[in-house]
A and B are shown apart, each in its own frame.
Chain A
Amino acid sequence: MADLTLAATSALGGYRTEIGGVRLAERTGLAIVSIAVPRDGEAALAEALQAGFGADLPRPGRSSLSRDGATRLLGMAADQLFAVFDHEGPDAARGVGAALGTAAYASDQSDVWVALRLEGAAVRRALERICPLDLHADAFAEGQVARTVIEHLGAIVLRDGPHALTLFSARSSARAFLHALETSLRNVA
Chain B
Amino acid sequence: MTDALPLPVALRRDARPESARGLQAHRLAGGLVDRSRTLSFRFDGRQFTGHFGDTLASALLANGVRLVGRSFKYHRPRGIFTAGSEEPNALVELRTGAYREPNTRATVAELFDGLEALSQNHRGSLGFDLMAANDLLSPFLTAGFYYKTFKWPKAFWEKLYEPVIRASAGLGRLSGEPDPDTYDKGFLHCDVLVIGAGPAGLAAALAAGRAGARVILADEDFRLGGRLNAETLTVAGQPGALWAEQAAAELASMPNVRLMPRTTVLGGFDHGIWGALERMTDHRADAEGKPRQVLWRIYARRAILGAGAIERPIAFGNNDRPGVMLAGAVRTYANRWGVAPGRRIAVFTNNDDGWRTAADLAGHGVEIAAVIDTRAGQPCLALPGVPVFMGEAVADTHGRKALARITLASGRRIEADCLAVSGGWNPNVHLTCHQRGRPEWREDIAAFVPPRDLPNGLTVAGAANGALSLAAALAEGRGAAEAATEGLGFTPAKAPQPRAEDEPVAISAFWHVGASRARAWIDLQNDVTVKDIALAQREGFRAVEHLKRYTTLGMATDQGKTANVLGLAIMAELTGRTIPQTGTTVFRPPYTPVAIGAFAGRARGKDFRPVRLTPSHAWAEERRAVFVETGAWLRAQWFPREGETHWRESVDREVRMTRASVGVCDVTTLGKIDIQGRDAGEFLNRVYANAFGKLAVGRTRYGLMLREDGIAMDDGTTARLGERHYLMTTTTANAVAVFRHLEFCRQCLWPGLDVHLISVTDGWAQYAVAGPNSRDLLREIVDPEHDISNEAFPFMACGEVTVCGGTRARLFRISFSGELAYELAVPARYGDALIRALMRAGAPFDVVPYGTEALGVMRVEKGHAAGNELNGQTTARDLGLGAMVSRKKDCIGKTLSERPALNRDDGLRLMGFRPVDRSLGLVAGSHFVGFGREAVTANDEGWMSSVAFSPTLGHSIGLGFIRRGEARRGETVRAVDLLRGTDMAVEIVSPHFVDPEGDRLRG
A and B from one assembly?
A: yes
Q: Which residues of A contact B (CB under 8 A)?
A: 1-11, 34, 36, 38-39, 79-80, 90-91, 105, 107-113, 128-134, 136, 138-139, 151-153, 170-173, 175-177, 179-180, 183-184, 186-187
| Contact status A1-B804, CB under 8 Å | yes
B733 to chain A, nearest CB (A): 15
What B residues does A151 contact at CB under 8 A? 602, 610
A107 contact from B674, B780, B803, B827, Cβ within 8 A: B674
A72 to B840: give the CA distance in the assembly, Å.
41
Q: Enumerate chain B residues within 8 angstroms of A132, measured Cβ to Cβ.
A: 187, 297
Q: Bound complex: CA of A180 vs CA of B297, how far in Å?
A: 18
Determine the main DSSP class of B at the interface with A.
mixed
Contact status A39-B753, CB under 8 Å: yes
Complex interface: chain B residues within 8 A of A107 (CB): 674, 676, 758, 760
Contact between chains at B612 and A170 (CB < 8 Å): yes
A129 touches B830 (CB 8 A): no
From the candidates A1, A79, A108, A175, name the one contacting B763 in the complex (CB within 8 A): A108
Q: With an 8 A cutoff between CB atoms, is B447 at the interface?
A: no
Question: Size band of the B side of the interface?
Answer: 35 or more
A79 touches B184 (CB 8 A): no
- Expressed in whole angstroms, the Cα–Cα distance for A4 and B830 within the complex equals 12
Chain B nearest CB: distance from A154 CB in Å? Answer: 9
- Residues A2 and B184 in contact, CB atoms below 8 Å apart: no
Complex Cα–Cα for A129 and B602 (A): 10
Q: Given A36-B676, A105-B677, A134-B189, A9–B829 Cβ distance below 8 Å?
A: yes
- CA of A183 to CA of B185 in the docked complex: distance in angstroms? 12
Within residues 742 to 789 of chain B, which ones have a CB less than 8 A from any CB in chain A? 752-754, 756, 758-764, 780-781
With A90-B827, A112-B762 known as contacts, the answer to whether A8 contacts B833 (CB < 8 A) is yes
- The answer to whether A111 touches B829 (Cβ under 8 A) is yes
Q: What are 21 A-B interface contacts by the 8 Å CB criterion? A: A2-B805, A4-B780, A4-B781, A4-B837, A6-B807, A6-B834, A7-B833, A10-B829, A34-B758, A38-B754, A39-B677, A80-B758, A91-B808, A111-B829, A112-B762, A129-B294, A136-B214, A171-B762, A172-B762, A173-B632, A187-B184
CA distance A2 to B781 in the complex (A): 10
Residues of A contacting B805 in the complex (Cβ-Cβ under 8 angstroms): 1-2, 4-5
Also in contact, A183 and B677, with CB within 8 A (given A6-B834, A109-B758): no
Q: Tell me if B841 is interfacial: C-beta within 8 Å of chain A.
A: yes
B609 at the interface (CB under 8 A from A): yes
Leading 8 A-B pairs by shortest Cβ distance: A176-B610, A36-B756, A134-B189, A105-B676, A39-B754, A6-B833, A112-B763, A172-B612
Contact A79 B756 (CB under 8 A): yes
Most chain B beta-carbon contacts within 10 A, residue among A9, A111, A131:
A111
Where the two chains meet, the residues of B that have a C-beta atom closer than 8 Å to any C-beta of A are 182, 184-189, 214, 289-291, 294, 297, 299, 602, 607, 609-614, 632-633, 668, 674, 676-678, 724-725, 752-754, 756, 758-764, 780-781, 803-805, 807-808, 826-830, 832-834, 837, 840-841
CB neighbours of A133 from chain B (8 A): 187
Q: A1-B805, A4-B840 are in contact. Are A9 and B833 (CB under 8 A)?
A: yes
Given A111-B763, A131-B187, A187:B290 Cβ within 8 A: yes
Q: Which chain B residue lies CB-closest to A189?
A: B290
Q: List the A residue with the shortest CB-CB distance to B736.
A: A154
A-B contact sample (13 more), CB < 8 A, given A105-B676, A108-B827, A172-B614: A1-B804, A5-B804, A6-B826, A9-B832, A79-B756, A80-B758, A108-B763, A109-B758, A112-B761, A112-B763, A176-B611, A187-B290, A187-B291
Question: Inside 8 A of B807's CB, which chain A residues have their CB?
Answer: 5-6, 90
- Chain A contacts for B829, CB-based, 8 A: 8-10, 90, 111
Q: Which residues of B contact A128 (CB under 8 A)?
A: 186-188
Chain B residue numbers with a CB within 8 Å of A186 are 289
A151 to nearest B CB, angstroms? 6
With contact pairs A112-B759, A128-B187 given, residues A172 and B677 touching in the complex (Cβ less than 8 Å): no
CA distance in complex: A139, B182 (Å): 30
> Is A173 a contact of B299 with CB atoms below 8 Å?
no
CA distance A184 to B826 in the complex (A): 34
**Is B754 touching A153 in the complex (CB atoms < 8 A)?**
no
Write the chain A residue with the least CB distance to B834.
A6
Identify the interface centre among A36, A91, A131: most chain B CB within 10 Å of its CB. A36
Q: How many angstroms between the C-alpha atoms of A151 and B606 in the bound complex?
A: 13
B185 contacts A129, C-beta separation under 8 Å: yes
**CA–CA, A39 and B753, complex, Å:** 8
Check A153/B830 contact, CB under 8 A, given A6-B837, A112-B760, A187-B290: no
Is A113 within 8 A of B677, CB to CB? no
Chain A residue at minimum C-beta to C-beta distance from B280: A187
Give chain A residues whose Cβ lies under 8 Å from the Cβ of B780. Answer: 1, 4
Q: Are A38 and B764 in contact (CB under 8 A)?
A: no
Q: Which residue of B lies closest to A176 (CB)?
A: B610
In the complex, A153 Cα to B632 Cα: how many Å?
A: 11
Interchain CB contact under 8 A, A109 and B804? no
Q: Determine how close the nearest CB of chain A comes to the CB of B680; give it in whole angstroms.
A: 9
Q: Which residue of B lies closest to A184 (CB)?
A: B184
The answer to whether B827 touches A111, judged by C-beta atoms less than 8 angstroms apart, is yes
**Bound complex: CA of A4 vs CA of B610, how far in Å?**
33
> In the complex, are the beta carbons of A134 and B803 less than 8 A apart?
no
Minimum CB–CB distance for B634 against chain A, Å: 10
Determine the distance from Cα of A143 to Cα of B761 in the docked complex, in whole angstroms. Answer: 28
Say whether B828 contacts A111, CB under 8 Å: yes
Q: Which residues of A contact B840 (CB under 8 A)?
A: 3-4
**B808 lies within 8 A of A36 (CB):** no
Complex: how many Å from CA A109 to CA B830?
15
Chain A residues positioned under 8 Å from B612 (CB to CB)? 170, 172-173, 176
* CB-based contact A36/B828 at 8 Å: no
Question: Within the complex, what minimum Cβ distance (angstroms) separates B287 from chain A?
Answer: 11
B291 / chain A contacts, CB cutoff of 8 Å: 187
Contact between A109 and B186 (Cβ–Cβ < 8 Å)? no
Beta-carbon contact of B763 and A38 below 8 Å? no
Least CB distance, B569 to chain A, in whole angstroms: 43
B186 lies within 8 A of A130 (CB) = yes
Min CB–CB distance A121 → chain B (angstroms): 13
Interface pair A152/B610, CB less than 8 Å apart: yes
CA A186 – CA B602 in complex, angstroms?
Answer: 13
CB distance from A108 to the nearest CB of B (A): 7
- Which listed residue, B297, B611, B756, B763, touches A105 by the CB 8 Å rule? B756
- A80 near B756 with CB under 8 A, answer yes
With the chains together, A5 CA to B633 CA distance in Å? Answer: 28
B607 neighbours in A (Cβ, 8 Å): 179
In the complex the two chains form, what is the Cα distance from A144 to B826 in whole Å? Answer: 32
For B838, the closest partner residue in chain A by CB is: A4
Q: How far is the CA of A164 from the CA of B905 in the complex (A)?
A: 66
- Which residue of the partner chain A has the closest CB to B607? A179
A contact residues around B725 at 8 Å (CB)? 105
| B490 to A: closest C-beta gap in Å | 12
Q: Are A172 and B676 in contact (CB under 8 A)?
A: no
Q: Tell me the minimal C-beta distance from B270 to chain A in angstroms.
A: 15
For A38, what are the chain B residues with a Cβ–Cβ distance below 8 Å?
Answer: 677-678, 754
Chain B residues with CB below 8 A from A184, complex form: 184
Residue of A nearest to B831 (CB): A9
Residue of A153, A173, A186 with highest tally of chain B CB at under 10 A? A173
| Residues of chain B with a CB closer than 8 A to A108's CB | 760, 763, 827
Complex-state Cα separation, A52 to B691, whole angstroms: 38
Q: CA A63 – CA B366 in complex, angstroms?
A: 70
CB distance from B456 to the nearest CB of A (A): 19
Taken together as a complex, chains A and B put the C-alpha atoms of A4 and B612 apart, in Å, by 27
Picked from B294, B781, B828, the residue with its CB within 8 Å of the CB of A171 is B828
Identify the closest chain A residue to B756 (Cβ). Answer: A36
Selected from A3, A105, A152, the residue in CB contact (under 8 A) with B724 is: A105
Once the chains are docked, how many angstroms separate the CA of A5 from the CA of B826? 13
In Å, the complex CA distance between A105 and B726 comes to 12
Instruction: Specify which of A4, A91, A105, A152 is in contact with B609 (CB 8 Å cutoff).
Output: A152
Whether A170 contacts B762 by the Cβ 8 Å rule is yes
**A47 CB → nearest B CB, Å:** 18
Partner of A111, one of B186, B187, B764: B764
Contact call A153/B610, Cβ cutoff below 8 A: yes
Query: Are A175 and B611 interface neighbours, CB within 8 A?
Result: yes
